[in-house]
Amino acid sequence: MYAPTRFAALALTLAALSLTGVGCPEDAPTTTADTAAAPDATTDATATGDGTGTTDGTALPDAVADATPDGNAPDVAADTTDTASPDAAGPDATVDATPDAIADTSNPDAAEDAVGPPDAAQDATTTDLPVADGSAGDSTSSTVGDPFAPGPNTVVTSTDSVSVPGGLLGPTTVNLTIYAPDGDGPHPLILFSHGFNLGPSDYASYGDHLASWGFIVVFPSAGGFAPRTHLELKDDLIAVMDWAETNLSLTSIGLTGHSLGGKTSIFAAAEDMRPVAVFGIDPVDSAPPFTFDPTGYPSVTPELVGNVAAPMVLLGETTNGAAGVGGQACAPSDDNFEQFFMHAAAPALKIDVLGAFHMSFLDNPSCLSCLLCPAGTDDPAQTLALTRGYVTAFFLVELQGEAGYQTYLTGAEMQDDVSAGLVTTETANGYP
Of 91, 126, 161, the residue at which a domain comes to its end is 126
pLDDT value at 358 more than 70: yes
Considering just the CA atoms, what is the radius of gyration of the chain in Å? Answer: 25
Q: What's residue 287's pLDDT?
A: 86
pTM of the model: 0.70
Q: Which pLDDT band holds residue 47 (cuts at 50, 70, 90)?
A: very low
Of 74-78, 267-271, 372-376, 419-423, minimum mean pLDDT range: 74-78
The reply to whether 336 and 282 lie within a common domain is yes
Residues 298 and 152 in one domain: yes
Torsion angle, CA of 120/122/125/131, rounded to 10 degrees? Answer: 0
pLDDT for position 85: 37
Last residue of a domain, one of 78, 96, 126: 126
pLDDT at 431 over 60: yes
Query: Would you place residue 134 in the very low, low, confident or very high pLDDT band (cuts 50, 70, 90)?
Result: low
pLDDT at 363: 98
Q: Are residues 234 and 261 in the same domain?
A: yes
The pLDDT, as a whole number, for residue 379 is 98
Residues 227, 293 within the same domain = yes
**Are residues 165 and 230 located together in one domain of the fold?**
yes
Same domain, 89 and 224: no
DSSP designation for 51: S
Query: How would residue 224 be classed by pLDDT, with cut points 50, 70 and 90?
Result: low
> Is residue 138, in this structure, part of any structural domain at all?
no
Across 326-340, 351-365, 384-398, least confident range:
326-340
Structural domain range at position 63: 36-126
- pLDDT over 90 (residue 96): no
In angstroms, the CA 148 to CA 418 distance is: 16
What does the CA dihedral 284, 288, 292, 295 come to, rounded to 10 degrees? -20
Least confident window among 45-54, 259-268, 353-362, 406-415: 45-54
In a domain, 303, yes or no: yes
In a domain, 135, yes or no: no
Q: Are 86 and 105 members of one domain?
A: yes
Model confidence at 403, pLDDT cuts 50, 70, 90, reads very high
pLDDT of residue 135: 53
Does some domain include residue 387?
Answer: yes
Q: Look at residue 90 and tell me whether its pLDDT is greater than 50.
A: no
* SS3 annotation, 374-411: CCCCCCHHHHHHHHHHHHHHHHHHHHHCCHHHHHHCCC
Share of the chain above pLDDT 90, in %: 58
Pick the last residue of a domain from 95, 126, 157.
126
Of the pLDDT bands very low, low, confident and very high (cuts 50, 70, 90), residue 261 is very high
User: What CATH number does the domain containing 18 carry?
Assistant: 3.40.50.1820
The predicted model gives 162-186 an average pLDDT of 89
- Domain presence at residue 71: yes
Same domain, 15 and 88: no
Task: Kindly compute the dihedral angle of the four CA atoms of residues 257, 260, 262, 264, in this order, to the nearest 10 degrees.
Answer: -100
Query: Which H or E run contains 5?
Result: helix 4-20
236-245 pLDDT per residue, tens = 999 999 999 9
The pLDDT > 70 percentage for the chain reads 65
Tell whether 58 and 190 lie within a shared domain.
Answer: no
Position 208 confidence tier, pLDDT thresholds 50, 70, 90: very high
Query: Both 60 and 182 in a single domain?
Result: no
Q: Is 92 a residue whose pLDDT tops 60?
A: no
Residue 139 lies in a domain: no
**How many domains does one find in the chain?**
2
Partnered with residue 175 across adjacent β-strands are 161, 221
DSSP-derived secondary structure letter, 113: B
Confidence bin at 140 (pLDDT 50/70/90): very low
Tell whether 286 and 403 lie within a shared domain: yes
Q: What pLDDT, on a 0 to 100 scale, did the predictor assign at position 82?
A: 38
Instruction: Based on the fold, state whether residues 65 and 14 are members of the same structural domain.
Output: no
Residue 141 lies inside a defined structural domain of this protein:
no
Kindly state whether residue 131 falls inside one of the protein's structural domains: no
Closest of 12, 14, 44 to residue 384, by C-alpha: 14
